[in-house]
Amino acid sequence: MENSRFMQALAGLSRPRFRRFREMVESPFFNKNKRLIQLIRLTDPVFPRMDHPSLAAEKVYPLIFPGEKMPRHPQKLYDLLTRLNRLLSVFFQLEELDEQPLEGHLLTLAAFGKRGMEDSFEKEFSLTLSALESQPFRDADFYGHAFRVYGQNDLFYSSYLKEFRRTEDKTLQIVTDHLDTWYLAEKFRQACRMVNRQNVFASSYDFGALSAAMDYYDSNPEKFDDIPAVSIYYTILKTLQESEEEGHFTRLMSLLALHAGKFGEEEARSMYNFAENYCIKKINSGRQDFQRKLFELFRELIRSGLILQQGWLSQWDYKNIVSVGLLLEEFAWVRQFLEDFRDKLNDSIRENAYNYNLAHYHYFTGDHGKALRLLQRVEFVDVFYHLGTKTTILKIYYEMNETESLLSHISAFKTFLRRNKLISSYQHSIYNHLLDFCKQAYRLKLKLQEGGSAGELAETRQKLAGLQAEVEGTAMVASKSWLLGQVSNIN
């Protein structure tokens, strides 16, 4: 019994919530079965230790069913647990409803409507509209609720009362407008997530009616340009689909500056994530001017507090902030940031993330030995740590002229890219280009170091110039700036 699904769920409650659930079971409105009350009270003294020996079936059964011998499979006891689990489900539903008062208004509105209670319906409709307008955010949920509120009003007068009013056409138009807004906001938001996931993981999606939705927006910009829940996600989608058109990014940053406060912290942060990813992709393509844009974006997030999620800093934000700061040689700022935000990382990943990023700090400041030692402590809990660690080790071996280690590392890196199914085609491309160009550059560097006739040296330099032009002309190369710097240093 102590290992049942119900007991496991009960153990996850806080003490106040457990007390409220016990009171619910004891309430005759929800339950009149005295054995259920007796059973929940048995858990009280040992909560939250639902695996306590006193809750073993052989201990509980004679207390609930005195005078009865417990059978091998005590089905009667299991039935009580099932009923308690159903009550727990109702408890969770009521808890959620209590946290979403607008949902309560909508349910009340529907109840009055079904029963034809016109006076009560009109009063509740007024209260529901007030509750809707008092919502702090103007996200997709706001327009979804608006669609349902006005939809209930139209349904009540056109169906339940069978009464046509002059306002009916206007109400129906409002319903339709809110439906369009809700649909477009959610459609564009989900499409942004799908495109982004395709760029990161080896995933493929059917985008359904997305083209039609975008065509509708393009045909009616005046209806949606002033609705951030739609216009921001539409613009994010355009940055993903047409990344070469930088005007989309400029517009996105302008929209976020004006309207980020109209969304909850989590959603506003996710919008900025798309802007971050756009900058990172540009940087990977060789656009060094986007390093400063990304750095300032991060500093704004730190100043506003949006960088933290429920008081914690994402390990990926920690990594990205350190990376761009190092690229801009903001070494003192980065070193301070590493320490200031170390304790803001979740306990389970703190040391791994700290060691990884501190290693990169030491690499950029020229202490390759410390960097390598720290990277050896990093656990490959994620493909991104694996890629980042392998890339930094590649750079260290190259710069330290460790020929055997470098060539072996390039071979192992390529095998990893080929075998790992979680790596997207984009990542395959940028890292394979990096490895191929790095190998060519290193061989040309060795040739120049070995010397030779004037003609041989001229030929090697010609090949080096060709390699530099090829790297510059290749859009998708990981660590492109570093690679071009190494090629330039050879000359």
CA separation (Å) from 161 to 112, 157, 230, 256? 12, 5, 35, 45
Q: How confident is the model at residue 491 (pLDDT cuts 50, 70, 90)?
A: low
CA geometry: angle 367, 370, 371, nearest 5 deg: 80
Averaged pLDDT, 360-389: 91
The predicted structure's pLDDT at residue 456? 84
Whether residue 417 has pLDDT greater than 80? yes
pTM exceeds 0.75: no
Structure tokens at 456: 């041989």
Q: Residue 107 CB: number of other CB atoms within 10 A? A: 11
Q: How confident is the model at residue 161 (pLDDT cuts 50, 70, 90)?
A: low
Whether residue 235 has pLDDT greater than 90? yes
Q: How confident is the model at residue 271 (pLDDT cuts 50, 70, 90)?
A: very high
- Check if the beta carbon of residue 477 is closer than 8 Å to that of residue 432: no
The pLDDT mean for the chain works out to: 91
Averaged pLDDT, 169-195: 93
The predicted structure's pLDDT at residue 285? 80
Q: For residue 309, which phi and psi values (nearest 5 degrees)?
A: -120, 110
Averaged pLDDT, 99-125: 92
Reduce the DSSP state of residue 182 to 3 states and report it.
helix
Q: Which of 275, 277, 179 is nearest to 232 (CA)?
A: 275
The CA distance from 475 to 462, in Å, is 22
DSSP code of 65? Answer: S
